[in-house]
Amino acid sequence: MKPSYLGFDKPRYAWKPDINYREQPELYHVGKGEQGVLICEPYKSEIGQYWRFKTVPIAEESSRKIFELFKDYLLSDDFVGADMARKYLQMGYTRARRYANYKGGKKYDADRNYAPLQRGTGDPEKAAAAAVFYEKYKAAEAEPKYATLKKQWKHERG
């Protein structure tokens, strides 16, 4: 199994870097998982600057700040911002887990036709950092206002 980024069809990707999603929220798609998280401006710049998971204390500070932004977006009825913050929390979990499982966070060996690398060679501290993000990610998903806005968004926009 090769990485999903091989053969990526950029023109068909739903999220575009040249769109201001605060000014044009109707162009935003919820998507699956973390899709669009590294593209959608201005949220990428607002949230991404705080996204760190190198150590547990760094992950705690990062996830706390991103969760605060999540709550601020909800208070402003900014579903796109809240969803993007939720995605950054999820990505903190998944990326830290990747580094916990694989040395250097590399899952595939490009020199060997993208063969999977051996699991269990990563950094154990990243597993603890992942747990910090996982807690905040699940708290965001469980937030009733977020769930309502997400359901409404998907109903209205697919």
Report residue 90 CA to chain centroid gap.
5
Taking alpha carbons only, the member of 89, 93, 104, 94 closest to residue 48 is 89
**Environment class of residue 86 by beta-carbon count within 10 Å: exposed (0-12), middle (13-18) or buried (19+)?**
buried
- For residue 158, is pLDDT > 70? no
Calculate mean pLDDT across residues 2-13. Answer: 75
Q: SS3 for the chain, per residue?
A: CCCCCCCCCHHHCCCCCCCECCCCHHHCCCCCCCCCCCCCECHHHHHHCCCCCCCHHHHHHHHHHHHHHHHHHHHCCCHHHHHHHHHHHHHHHHHHHHHHHCHHHCCEEHHHCCEECCCCCCCHHHHHHHHHHHHHHHHHHHCHHHHHHHHHHHHHHC
pLDDT in tens, 77-99: 999 999 999 999 999 999 999 88
Q: CA Rg, the chain, in Å?
A: 16
- Which residue carries 């201001």 as its tokens? 20
pLDDT tens for 31-82 read 888 888 999 999 999 999 999 999 999 999 999 999 999 999 999 999 999 9
Task: Provide the percentage of residues in the chain whose pLDDT is more than 90.
Answer: 65
**What pLDDT is stored for residue 8 in this prediction?**
73
- Summarize pLDDT for 105-156 with one digit per residue, the tens: 788 878 878 787 777 777 889 999 999 999 999 999 999 999 999 999 999 9
- Per the model's pLDDT, the better-predicted residue between 101 and 26 turns out to be 26
Residue type at 3 in one-letter notation? P
